[in-house]
A and B are shown apart, each in its own frame.
Chain A
Amino acid sequence: MENDKSAVADRPMFGRRDPDARGYFGAYGGRFVPETLVAPIEELTAGYLAARDDRAFRGELETLLTHYVGRPTSLYETRRLAAECGGGPSGKAVGAGAAAAATAAARGPAKAGRGVRILLKREDLAHTGAHKINNALGQALLARRMGKRRVVAETGAGQHGVATATACALLGLRCCIYMGAEDMRRQALNVVRMRLLGAEVREVEAGSRTLKDAINEAMRDWVANVTDTYYLLGSALGPHPYPLMVREFQSVIGYEARRQMLDQVGRLPDVVVACVGGGSNAMGIFDGFLEDAEVRLVGVEAGGDAIAPGRHAARFAGGSTGVLQGTRTFILQDEAGNIEPTHSISAGLDYAAIGPEHAWLRDLGRTEYVHVSDADALEGFQTLARLEGILPALESAHAIAYAMRLAAEVADDTVILVNLSGRGDKDVQSVVEALR
C-alpha cells in the first residue's frame, strides 16, 4: 500500500484487490438481480467508490472505529487453552505445569518446542460485541453520504442487526431489520437489543425462517423503496459491490492483527482460523495475511449434525456452483436448483451460500475450508469459557473448536491465530437448551 502521509491511518484497506468491472472474483460474484435493482446498485457502486477515495469519509470512519467501536481490538494469547490442546513439547496431554510454562513463554520470545500457541483476535470486545459493527458503521456512513434516510438490513444471529441498529441510532437514520422467525426465537436477546436501539424488527415467516429468508425479505423491501432506502447487507455476499465493500470495511481486522502479531509475538502466525457463514469476519482477517504466502488461511464452515442434505451449512463440503441472492458462488442446492435447507446450531453460519471471494481464493489454492459439527462447536464454546473466561459466539466457537483440533495435529511450535468474531452472551439460552 502506498505511503499515506495524511492524519488518517486508513486502517480499512481500500482499493487493493477489486473484482473486475462486472463484479467478478474469477468465476464468482457478479450481479444477479432483478432489473429494478440494477440502477440502484450502480448508484451504490459509484457512491462507494467515491466514498472510499474521500479522505473526509475515511477520516470520519477512522475516528468512529477508534473512539466509538474501541479499536484496535486486542490480540490476546491464550494460556490454558493452548496448554489443554497438547501444547507440551512431547505433545502429550498436559496439566497445570505446562500451562504455567506456556504462560512464561508467552511473555518472552517464542522458543522452539515450547508448544503450540493459540492467539485470539478479540472482535468480541468491539462495541456491540462482534466484528459486524465495522461494516455496519462504514455502510451507514455511506448511506448518509448518499442521502438515504432509511436503512433496511437482514440478520441471522442478530449481531449484524444490532450493529446496524446501533449505527443508525448514532447517525439518525431510520432502521428496519428483517429476521427469520426461527432466528428470533434462538436469538431473543438480540431482538430486544435491536428494539431498544430504536429499530423496527420484522419477523420473516417464509421458507426456513432463517438468514436466507430474511435476506429475501430485505431485498423485497429494498426493491419497493429504492429511492429513499439503503440496503445494509451484513456479509461478504450478494451482488457487486457488496462482497468488495463488506470485505474492505472488515479488512481492519486483518490489518490490526498482522501488526499486533509482529509487535507482540515477533512473527506472523502459521495459521489463521476464522468461521465462515457468508464470510465477512474471515475475509476481514484473511485480508491482512493474503500476501504472506507462508500463512495458512483456514475457513471453518458449519458442519451441523451431519454432512447430509438439510443437516449442515458446509457449502464446500456439500455444495456446487450456482446463483443465490445476487451472486454466483458455492451454494447448497438440490438437483432442480432449489436451495436446500441448512442447519447449524449457530444462526450466523446457517446459510446456503458462501461469499464469492472465498470461492475464488479457494480455487486459487490460497485459502482452505473445513467444517466443524454442532457438538464440537459446543465443546469449543465450553472449553473457552472454562479455560479462558471468555464466552464466544457459537459462530466463533466453530473456529475455536477447529483450532483445538488443529493444535493437536501440527508441529509443536506452531502459532495459530483465531478470529474470535463475537461474544456469546446472545447464545447462552441456545447452549443451555443444547446441553440439556
Chain B
Amino acid sequence: MSRSGGQGRLDETFRRIRGANAGPGLVTYITAGDPDVPRTEGILRALDRAGADVLEVGVPFSDPLADGPVIQRATERALASGTTLSGVLDMVGRLRGDIQAPIVLFSYANPILRLGAEQFADRARDAGVDGVLVLDLPLEEADEFRQLLASRGIDTILLLSPTTTDGRLRRAVSLGSGFLYAISRLGVTGARDAVADGAEEMVRRIRAVSPLPVALGFGISTPAHVREVGRWADAAVVGSGLVSVIADAGASDDLDSRVEEYVRWLKS
C-alpha cells in the first residue's frame, strides 16, 4: 500500500515515528525568506538539530488566502526580502545534504504555474524536495501535477478538512502519498488555545480508510497540544506558533537558539 516517492524519506520518517517508544511526531512549518533566505537556512538547520521530524517550508505568495494574520505577516516579510519560489528551491538544494528531516514545500498554485509545473518538478527533484503540498490545488485540479511529482519520486501531500466528504476522503487517500495533512478546524492558519473538538473524529475518519500516516494541524502551539494530538495522529503540525517565535526574534543573534529551544519545548 506504500506509495512512497523514490526518495522515501517521508516513509522512513513515519516508520520511525510509529516505531516503539517514539513520541508523537512533530511537523514544523516556517515561511521561507522570513526574515530572509540566509536566516531561513539557519532556522531549518536549528529545527533539524532540535528534532523536528518533518520540515514544511512555505513559499511566500502575495495572496495567501488560506492563511491567518501571523503567516500573512511572515509572507509579507519574506516577499519584502525578495524571496521567490526559485530562490527557495535553490536554498533547499544547498541545505539538503546537511539536514536529516524530510522537506515538504508548501505553496499556492500560482508561483508553481508561473515557473511551469514540469520545470518546478524537475528542480524540486534536483533540490531533494521530499513532498509538495499546494494549498489551492484540490484533487480535481491536481491530477497532472501529482503525476509529474510522482514520476520524480516526490510525494504529493493532500490536505483533508472537516468539510471533506467521505467520497472525497476515499479519493484523496488513494491519491496521496507520504502522509496526509488533516486540518483540525475550519478557518485559516493560526495558533489557538485548545485543540479543536472535532480533531480526534477527523483523524478517526481518515484512519478508517487509509494506512497513510496522518499529521494534524491548524491551531497547535504547545507541548500539551502536541501530546494530545499524538494520542490519535502520527504527528502534530506547528506553524503559526513557530512563525511567531521567529517574528519575535527578528534580526536578533539568538534567532536560531530561540527556534531550537521552542521545538525542544514542544517535544518535551
What is A's interface to B at a CB cutoff of 8 Å? 22, 30-40, 206-207, 212-213, 215-216, 219-220, 223-227, 322-326, 331, 333, 335-339
Contact = CB atoms under 8 A, between A and B. Distances in A.
A33 B138 contact: yes
Nearest to B172: A35
Contact of B111 (A30, A212, A224, A338): A338
A34 B66 contact: yes
A323 B110 contact: yes
A206 B164 CA distance: 29
Nearest to B73: A206
Contact of B65 (A39, A220, A322): A220
A36 B168 CA distance: 11
A35 B113 contact: no
A269 B24 CA distance: 69
Interface of B: 60-66, 68, 72, 79, 84-86, 108-115, 135-141, 158-165, 168, 183, 186-188
Given A31-B140, A39-B165, A337-B113, A325 B63 contact: yes
Given A326-B136, A333-B110, 19 more contacts: A30-B141, A31-B140, A34-B138, A34-B161, A35-B164, A36-B66, A36-B162, A36-B163, A39-B163, A39-B168, A219-B65, A220-B68, A220-B188, A322-B113, A323-B109, A331-B110, A335-B84, A336-B114, A338-B61
A32 B66 CA distance: 12
Given A322-B113, A323-B109, A35 B63 contact: no
B84 A206 contact: no
A213 B72 CA distance: 12
Contacts of A206: 72
A276 to B, nearest CB: 20
A290 B141 CA distance: 29
Contacts of A331: 110
A38 B66 CA distance: 13
A337 B112 contact: yes
From B84, B110, B165, residue with most partner A Cβ within 10 Å = B110
24 contacts: A22-B141, A32-B109, A32-B136, A32-B137, A33-B138, A34-B66, A34-B135, A34-B136, A34-B159, A35-B164, A36-B66, A36-B183, A38-B163, A206-B72, A216-B63, A223-B186, A325-B65, A336-B86, A336-B114, A337-B110, A337-B111, A337-B113, A338-B79, A339-B62
B138 A337 contact: no
A216 B136 CA distance: 13
B66 A223 contact: yes
A292 B96 CA distance: 60
A226 B188 CA distance: 12
Given A207-B63, A224-B187, A336-B85, A35 B160 contact: yes
A32 B109 CA distance: 8
A216 B114 contact: no
Nearest to B165: A39
Q: List 8 A-B pairs, minimum CB-CB distance, nearest first.
A: A337-B114, A224-B187, A337-B111, A336-B84, A338-B62, A36-B161, A39-B163, A34-B66
Contacts of A22: 140-141
A408 B165 CA distance: 58
Contacts of A36: 66, 161-163, 183, 186-187
Given A40-B163, A220-B188, A35 B138 contact: yes
Contacts of B112: 337
A224 B189 CA distance: 10
A38 B186 contact: no
B161 A35 contact: yes
Contacts of A325: 63, 65
A32 B141 contact: yes
Contacts of B63: 207, 212-213, 216, 324-325, 339
A38 B137 CA distance: 10
A212 B161 CA distance: 25
A323 B168 CA distance: 23
Contacts of A37: 163
B145 to A, nearest CB: 12
Nearest to A337: B114
Contacts of B66: 34, 36, 220, 223
Nearest to B160: A35
A337 B136 contact: no
A335 B62 CA distance: 12
Nearest to A336: B84
Nearest to A21: B140
A224 B64 CA distance: 15
Which of A224, A324, A336 has the most chain B CB within a 10 Å cutoff? A336
B68 A323 contact: no
A120 B73 CA distance: 46
B65 A323 contact: no
A322 B141 contact: no
Contacts of A227: 186
A224 B185 CA distance: 8
A349 B23 CA distance: 54
Contact of A38 (B86, B111, B168): B168
Nearest to B86: A336
Contacts of B162: 36
B111 A226 contact: no
Contact of B115 (A215, A219, A226, A337): A337
A152 B151 CA distance: 42
A181 to B, nearest CB: 15
B188 A33 contact: no
A130 B77 CA distance: 39
B163 A226 contact: yes
B162 to A, nearest CB: 8
- Most chain A Cβ neighbours within 10 Å, of B164, B165, B187: B187
A22 B142 CA distance: 12
Contacts of B139: 38
B114 A335 contact: yes
Q: Which of A206, A219, A225, A339 has most B Cβ within 10 Å?
A: A206
Q: Which of A30, A212, A337 has the most CB of B within 10 A?
A: A337
Contacts of A32: 109, 136-138, 141
A37 B165 CA distance: 11
Nearest to B135: A34
A216 B187 CA distance: 13
Contacts of B161: 34-36
